[in-house]
Amino acid sequence: MGLMTPQPAFHRVIPAQQSVKSEWILPYDEVQKILISAKTFVLSDCICRVQQDLAGHRHCEFPVRSCLSFSSKPRDPGPHDLSKEEAIAVLERFEEMGLVHTVSNVAQGVGYVCNCCGCCCGILRGITQFGIENSVAQANYFAVLDPDLCANCGICLGRCQVQAISFEGGRTSVDRARCIGCGLCVSGCPQHALILQLKPENEKIAPPQDFADWEHQRLQNRGLIE
């Protein structure tokens, strides 16, 4: 609670790239453009799934090796290095699996993409397990369901990592307040009954510019500086 409650949040959600209209995606949400400027890429173990395995609490079968880090600085290659093309393909594969892309909650200086599930991720569990609504900074998008197109097949329920979609009274619905804007329900819907919609201007929240800005805002919100 002490880590996840203060704002700004540590991580923010990047929408599934297949779910957002390219003409209005926000610049800091274009993860592929961030990757294109990098020179080295490493795929490492997800520390959250490692923790859940060690504790004997893991309930999912998502891959452990799923944390993608990258840098603009060249270095000697390592055993888990990927090419740029492989890195982009890996993100697409995790998106198809139903994992949420999260990154540092900054506009500049992003150096990794976590691919998160709601049962293991220490950030998303803030929502699913501990009831901390803002444990992750939501994307500036939200899912909208067209009930006339929806076949109530339940695929979106399984893909939503924060339980924002429910099925009651024979109808599927999206809880906008709980939706983090990841777009996984959109990219997985065979009926194309869901879309991601850009939030109105008065609801958009831009991430801190860089880590120094993030740190300053965090200290202010904790009452540690004026």
Domain 11-204 has CATH 3.40.50.970: no
What's the rounded Cα separation, in Å, for the pair 1 and 159?
Answer: 26
The domain limits of the chain are 11-204
| DSSP string for 79-92 | TTEE-HHHHHHHHH
Q: Is the pLDDT of residue 25 over 80?
A: no
Q: Which residue has the higher pLDDT, 78 or 157?
A: 157
Report percent pLDDT > 90 for the chain.
Answer: 85
Q: Is the pLDDT of residue 21 over 80?
A: no
Q: Mean pLDDT over residues 18-30, rounded?
A: 77
> What's the confidence (pLDDT) of residue 23?
64
Q: Mean pLDDT over residues 34-60, rounded?
A: 94
Report percent pLDDT > 70 for the chain.
Answer: 99
Residue whose tokens read 């400027």? 37
Q: Is the pLDDT of residue 99 over 70?
A: yes
Q: How far is CA 55 from CA 120, 131, 171, 183, in A?
A: 11, 22, 37, 30
Buried b (16+ CB within 10 A) or exposed e, 46-61: bebbeebeeeeebeee
> What's the confidence (pLDDT) of residue 30?
82
> What's the confidence (pLDDT) of residue 34?
81
> Is the CB of residue 60 less than 8 Å from the CB of residue 120?
yes
The band of 20, judged by pLDDT with boundaries at 50, 70 and 90, is confident
Q: Is the pLDDT of residue 164 over 90?
A: yes
Closest to 95 in 3D by CA, of 16, 13, 7, 202: 16
Sign of CA dihedral 216, 217, 222, 226: positive
> What's the confidence (pLDDT) of residue 165?
98
Q: Is the pLDDT of residue 49 over 80?
A: yes
- 0.85 cut: is pTM over it? yes
Q: For the purposes of burial, counting CB atoms within 10 Å of the CB of 182, is it exposed (0-12), middle (13-18) or buried (19 or more)?
A: buried
> What's the confidence (pLDDT) of residue 24?
65
Q: Which residue has the higher pLDDT, 93 or 17?
A: 93
What's the rounded Cα separation, in Å, for the pair 169 and 1?
Answer: 35
> Is the CB of residue 126 less than 8 Å from the CB of residue 81?
no
Q: How far is CA 145 from CA 174, 177, 183, in A?
A: 7, 14, 12
pLDDT for 120-160, tens place per residue? 999 999 999 999 999 999 999 999 999 999 999 999 999 99
Least confident piece of the model among 30-44, 104-118, 132-146, 194-208: 30-44
